Amino acid sequence: MKSTLKKLLPFAVVGVISGATTVGALQYFGHSSNNGDQSYFTTAAPNTSFAGMNTGAVGDDFVKAAKTTVPAVVTIKNYQSRTASRASEQDLFDFFFGDPFGGGRGQQRQKQQQAPENMPSGMGSGVIISPDGYIISNNHVVAGANKLEVVLSNKKSYIATLVGTDPNTDISLLKIEEKGLPYLNFANSDNIDVGQWVLAVGNPLGLNSTVTAGIVSAKGRGIGILSSQGKAANPIESFIQTDAAINPGNSGGALVNTNGELIGINSAIQSTTGYYQGYGFAVPSNLARKIVEDIKKFGIVQRGFLGIQSLDLSNDQLVTSYNKQFKTNLKVGSGVYVTGFGENSGAEDAGLKKGDVVTKIDNYDITDFADLSMSIGSKRPGDKVQVTYLRNGKENTTSVTLRDQKGGTSTRTKADLSVTEKIGAEFDPLTDRFKTEYGLNSGVVAKSVSEGSEMAKIGIVDNYIIIEINGKPVNSQKDVEKILEKYQGNVQVKFVDDYGRIYTKGFKMP
């Protein structure tokens, strides 16, 4: 029962992406800022209107939008020194929707020892969002790469720098060295309506500069893909759902309105075959923009936490399981039920209690967990939100100051990170018995290895054993921190994989 409940009832602390937002996006959410850097990426004019289903000359609108969008959408080729099937763009679809070739293609990849150097391990799409070469894409498009090639619609090719990634939203930011590039403006994704015409532009199945049309078929959709991959510690899923045809290779491409403005980043499809069957999902532009602004300004994504453990009352399966586990009689409905609090909880300090039902964040209605994560996802540590909740049937409102996971209320840069945060892993000591049985004099076990981290880039995954760092034996996380604290330069790591093979690899200390 407990194991089943753990699968069905993720009482996750609400972790949320906060943003060093642009002036336009700040206006959307009622914030203000004097930092000019936050307005780097361009927002569409505030008086922009969206074309409705009954708009005249919609064909002309499609043509204009396509002409605007196609030059700003690029192909991204992911080159890897070793096979890393979990990281490739195609494999994300195989994992979530199944291999349409019955496992043959995936098995062949797993047997493959090393991809040819001149062949990419995976391909996806990206969107140019500034004239000087910043490109937004998906995290899973760039994951595991040791080289990223960007090909423009005019076939001109560049080697890109990976500025940063965020597995929790599946967003990445790249940079190529060029000026005067075509780019797309961000639109306010809060303004889109179900039934509105949209275009998906990308490079599906190796077909460059492909444009498909459809409508927004739903908003605020959570499909569980980020959490199911096991790479997102605090996933935020509030996808725009569309029936515009999207296939593997569209990932990271543009979802635009009929004005050619960016309203989403295409990320996933829902299908029994792994190919288009009617539903695609895109990260809303407001959230995507906040992520890349954070990465550009701070080098890392700022995360605010409401600090509650929760139950989505709109999910009848979760509610039923919770009632059985805790002998309660909760009803399926709208809102998020507070089941507990994390450490240093701003919500608990503000007066919320177990059993309260969160119904609004500021003026944003909370009908399910996707709404809650999205509403907090627009904020950062130190931001205050007005939380409306029900207690014993009575509506109450309180002001909550969001905090980071350590309880802080200020933003941090890479320089403020701990050693383990910088290299992207934590470490548990080996027992003396284990050392004796395997003939080791030292070692720590890698845990919580972050997707795209320095440790992950050199091939370390959870449960690999780290023997030495920079030639020095390590037996605890404190040993790792002591060796790398204030260290600059190349780091040498000696480690053991699942099969007992010993490797020595390295990375430059971030």
Structure tokens at 84: 């890393």
Helices (H) and strands (E) in the chain — how many of each? 15, 26
- CA atoms 111, 114, 118, 121: torsion sign: positive
Alpha-carbon gap, residue 232 to 226, rounded angstroms: 6
Q: What whole-number distance in Å separates Cα of residue 268 and Cα of residue 237?
A: 11
Alpha-carbon torsion angle 356, 408, 188, 176, nearest 10 = -150
Backbone phi, psi, residue 305, to 5°: -130, 135
What is the rounded CA–CA span in Å between residue 315 and residue 8? 10
Contact 393, 382 (CB under 8 A): no
Residues that are catalytic:
140, 170, 251
Identity of the amino acid at 404: D
Asked if 503 and 494 count as a contact pair (C-beta separation under 8 A), the reply is yes
> According to DSSP H, which parts of 9-57 are helical?
23-29
Tell me the two tokens of residue 387. 């939380």
Residue with the two structure tokens 């992207």 = 424
> CA 455, CA 497: separation in Å to the nearest integer?
13
Sign of CA dihedral 27, 33, 34, 38: negative
- With b for 16 or more beta-carbon neighbours within 10 A and e for fewer, the 73-110 pattern comes to bbbbbbbbeebbbbbbbbbbbbbbbebbeeeebbeebe
Task: With residue 199 as reference, give the H or E element that holds it.
Answer: strand 197-202
Which of 360, 107, 192, 416 lies closest to 99, judged by CA? 107
Calpha distance 220→353 (Å, rounded): 26
Number of Cβ within 10 Å of residue 498's Cβ equals: 9
Sign of the Cα pseudo-torsion (106, 277, 268, 226, in order): negative
Q: Give the helix/strand (H/E) hosting 127.
A: strand 122-128
SS3 489: coil
Q: Report the Cα–Cα distance between both ends of the chain, in Å, rounded.
A: 43
Please count the other Cβ atoms lying within 10 Å of the Cβ belonging to residue 128.
25
Closest among 65, 20, 481, 16 to 290, alpha carbons compared: 20
Compute the CA torsion angle 244, 249, 251, 257 (nearest 10 deg). -40
